[in-house]
Amino acid sequence: GQQLNQSPQSMFIQEGEDVSMNCTSSSIFNTWLWYKQDPGEGPVLLIALYKAGELTSNGRLTAQFGITRKDSFLNISASIPSDVGIYFCAGRKSGGSNYKLTFGKGTLLTVNP
């Protein structure tokens, strides 16, 4: 099935640094979602975006729905050790298959204290 191009695949950063990751697609999506997955656990929804150009924050996390509707970005400011995990983007199209989420392969984030 179709995959989103998520980058980078992994990041190693120092505590306190800011982090940016993104997802791109050749297709247009009407919803973008960002999830975080801790080892051995299910993905947890961080931010949901429903309109092109939308910029939404959740604490130190900020995500944007790209104007072209083909991309989305997630930024984490002032990283802390508990930010460690895998971050997934997911996109949803409208129409008959609007249940279906297309997932990126994830960005593995490591934060060194």
Partner 1 sequence: DADVTQTPRNRITKTGKRIMLECSQTKGHDRMYWYRQDPGLGLRLIYYSFDVKDINKGEISDGYSVSRQAQAKFSLSLESAIPNQTALYFCATSHGGTDTQYFGPGTRLTVL
- Least Cα distance to 31 among 113, 85, 112, 100 occurs for 100
Considering only 29, 65, 87, 103, the residue that binds partner 1 (CB under 8 A) is: 103
Q: Output 23 or 79, the one with its CB closest to partner 1.
A: 23
**Part of the chain binding partner 1 (CB under 8 A), chosen from 20-28, 30-38, 51-59, 70-78:** 30-38
Biggest CA pair distance of the chain: 47
Alpha-carbon gap, residue 17 to 77, rounded angstroms: 7
> In DSSP terms, which residues pair with 89 in a beta bridge?
34
Nearer to partner 1, 46 or 79 (CB): 46
Q: Which of residues 33-62 bind partner 1 (CB under 8 A)?
A: 33, 35, 40-45, 48, 50
Question: 20 pairs with which residues across the strands?
Answer: 75
Query: Both tokens of residue 29?
Result: 């999506």
User: In terms of C-beta density within 10 A (0-12 exposed, 13-18 middle, 19 or more buried), how is residue 96 classed?
Assistant: exposed
Least separation, in Å, of the C-beta of 48 and partner 1? 5
Binding to partner 1 (CB under 8 A): which residues in 71-100? 88, 90, 92, 98-100
- Binding residues (CB under 8 A) for partner 1: these are 1, 3, 31, 33, 35, 40-45, 48, 50, 88, 90, 92, 98-101, 103-106
